[in-house]
Structure 1
Amino acid sequence: FGKGSKITYVGGGQLYWYVKPATKWPYYFDGTIKVVYDSGHTPRIYEISGVGALGSSVSDTIPISKTKGATAYLTGTAYALKGDQYLVVPGCKTHYKYGY
């Protein structure tokens, strides 16, 4: 992902994710957000996806549950119409607290 990928807590119980692969071709993005709780509770997995066209980005928000602390990891692959694949840069993550 030469153009970027990001995940961040935006308040109000929402995580925002963004991807922009380094392709000028239309693409399909398929990914996951894994939330790992500081408390040791079972991690939660959110399936995410989207379609981008001609150098555009794909983004969305997902609702999250209250926690004293957690780290959200964004992973995934963009599949360009041309056949190229683009992986989210390793280590794309954010730590947040919500509701406490």
Structure 2
Amino acid sequence: MGEDLKIMKKLFLMAFTVFLSLFLAAPTFASEKPQSLDDLSNLGEIVYQDDEIIVRDLGDDPVISNIITEDPNSVIAEENAGIKPQVVGPGGKAVVTAGDKGRTIYWTVRPNTYWPYHFEGKVKLRYHSGFKRDAIVGGMGGIGLSVSGLVHMKKNNGGYASLSGTAYSLDFSKYRVLPGAGTAF
């Protein structure tokens, strides 16, 4: 019986520690919610950086996805039920918009799946000068959530950015980004 009591104490202590850390962290995150595209530019984890670009993963926060989607300059490629151009599976939604005077490309995808998924994609940057650059993007999404990110260009002379990629769900389905998810910058 003494051994069972020790195990119960350890479990309780671990559970209490996790709860306490979530309780203390939640108010901090709640007070720092972004309100606009400009607020997103320094959020998220840097997943790639060089002399020309910075790629950030913004995760699957619905607030961030809504800010990107509701921007008046957003380009939304959305599949309607029954129409499946170049898409495997029941479809989904991809949004691309330019912010920060055309220096930052924000993107968000939401495949129409009832399973967690992993998104792998590219933001293709095609500058007016003829220079081409592809930024690898991606992330993990929960059930019913969008995955978002950004590509910040340190130099910009204008051009066009498009998003392509595929989400792979746990039920082994594939969801491709529809053509047309792109914007001028």
Q: When the two structures are superposed, what TM-score results if normalisation uses the length of structure 2?
A: 0.49
Aligned length: 95
- Higher relative CO (Cα under 8 Å, sequence separation at least 6) belongs to 1
In 2, Cα distance between the equivalents of 1:61 and 1:37?
17
Q: Secondary structure at the match of 2:158?
A: strand
In 2, Cα distance between the equivalents of 1:68 and 1:46?
17
Deviation (angstroms), 1:14 = 1.6
Q: Which has the larger radius of gyration?
A: 2
Alignment of 1:41-52 (within 5 A): 41=131, 43-52=132-141
Q: Match of 1:87?
A: 176
**1:46 maps to amino acid:** A
Gaps of 5+ in 1: none
In 2, Cα distance between the equivalents of 1:38 and 1:62?
18
Larger helix percent: 2
Gaps of 5+ in 2: 1-78, 80-90
Q: When the two structures are superposed, what TM-score results if normalisation uses the length of structure 1?
A: 0.87
Q: Match of 1:56?
A: 145
Q: Match of 1:18?
A: 108
In 1, Cα distance between the equivalents of 2:154 and 2:161?
12
Q: Match of 2:130?
A: 40
Residues 9-58 of structure 1, C-alpha deviations (whole Å, 9 max, x = no match):
111622101000010100000000110011212x0110001000111100
In 1, Cα distance between the equivalents of 2:135 and 2:106?
12
Q: 1:73 aligns with which of 162, 167, 178?
A: 162
1:27 aligns with 2:130: no
**1:15 maps to amino acid:** I
